[in-house]
Amino acid sequence: MSDEQGRDLSALAGVASAVGALAPPVTIATSLMLYFGWARTAEQARFMGVDVSLFGYSTQDYVLRSIRTLYIPLLVVAAAVLCWLAVHHRVLKVLETRRRGLRVAGRALFATGLAALAAVVVVATVQRAFLPLVVPLVLAVGTVVAAYGAWLTRVTGDAKAPAPPWHNALRKLMVGSMITLALFWELSLYAGVTGRGYADELAATVHTLPRATAYSGESLGIEAPNVVEERLDTGRHRTTGLRLLVRSGGRVFLLHDRWNPVNGRVVVLPDNETVRWQFSR
């Protein structure tokens, strides 16, 4: 094999390694965004008085709907992971020269993580309404800190008989499961808050949605505040007082003027040729 072929193979191996390293984080981020988009949209729909399944959103729709509110938390998590990797790299460098000090630090981290977990469980049990968004976040961070402290204590301790493979595998599974469940719990709570926030924001800005005027051969029979239907001289019906919310899943979703989450109504009409639409500002 020539030197040039060797360099090409090394470059391809580097690209494959980079792609392999990026694939798991991208997959996890996409899954979180999909779940968050669905949870946020479901909470917003519930607050509006409809079920999210009516909208017929696709996977792409849910991911796109999560980007606006989720990219900042994801960036914060990515920055925190990068900082941890930098600290861990430094720990590995001084592992042999400062073994005793790192052992003390590991024990302190382990105790701190366990204390945080115990404290948040007690607070959540006694005062359930106390900062619900903080509880799963502390559970995730406390688990990470305790697990890292336990690892640091093990690698800096005296040589002992190695644990059986199933023990290490079970420990990793439990730690990973707890962190994952806590993060999904956090996302669920955060999605609920943002979903209700979007519903409130929609009520305040419904007047900025496009005006929708429907022309149909038959009466649409819409019974909603501020919606007016009149019969034209041509025999067709014109319905006004509607605002376009979204067009999805073969349906047109509309709100009426001065809609609000308390007593407002969401109008759902089939998206076909029986109704001709006119939109304006």
Query: For every residue of 35-55, which 3-state class applies, written as one string?
Result: HHHHHHHHHHHHHHCCCHHHH
pLDDT in tens, 34-46: 888 888 888 888 8
Instruction: Tell me whether strands 251-256 and 266-270 are parallel, antiparallel or unpaired.
Output: antiparallel
pLDDT in tens, 215-255: 988 888 888 888 888 988 888 889 999 999 888 888 889 99
Of 65, 70, 58, nearest in space to 29 by CA: 70
For residue 76, what pLDDT is reported? Answer: 84
Q: Which two tokens stand for residue 4?
A: 């040039």
**Coil, helix or strand at residue 6:** helix
pLDDT in tens, 125-135: 776 666 677 88
Per the CB < 8 A criterion, the answer to whether 254 and 186 are in contact is: no
Of 189, 192, 72, nearest in space to 135 by CA: 189
pLDDT band for position 25 (cuts 50, 70, 90): low
d(CA 102, CA 94): 9
For residue 33, what pLDDT is reported? Answer: 81
pLDDT for 21 beyond 50: no
268 vs 39, 46, 214, CA distance in Å? 21, 15, 12
pLDDT for 56 beyond 70: yes
- The half-sphere exposure of 172 on its side-chain side, counting CA atoms within 13 A, is 7
For residue 85, what pLDDT is reported? Answer: 85
Cβ contacts of residue 119 below 8 Å, gap of 6+? 138
- Cα dihedral across residues 147, 152, 158, 162: positive or negative: positive
Q: Model pTM greater than 0.85?
A: no
Beta bridge partners of 242: 212, 256
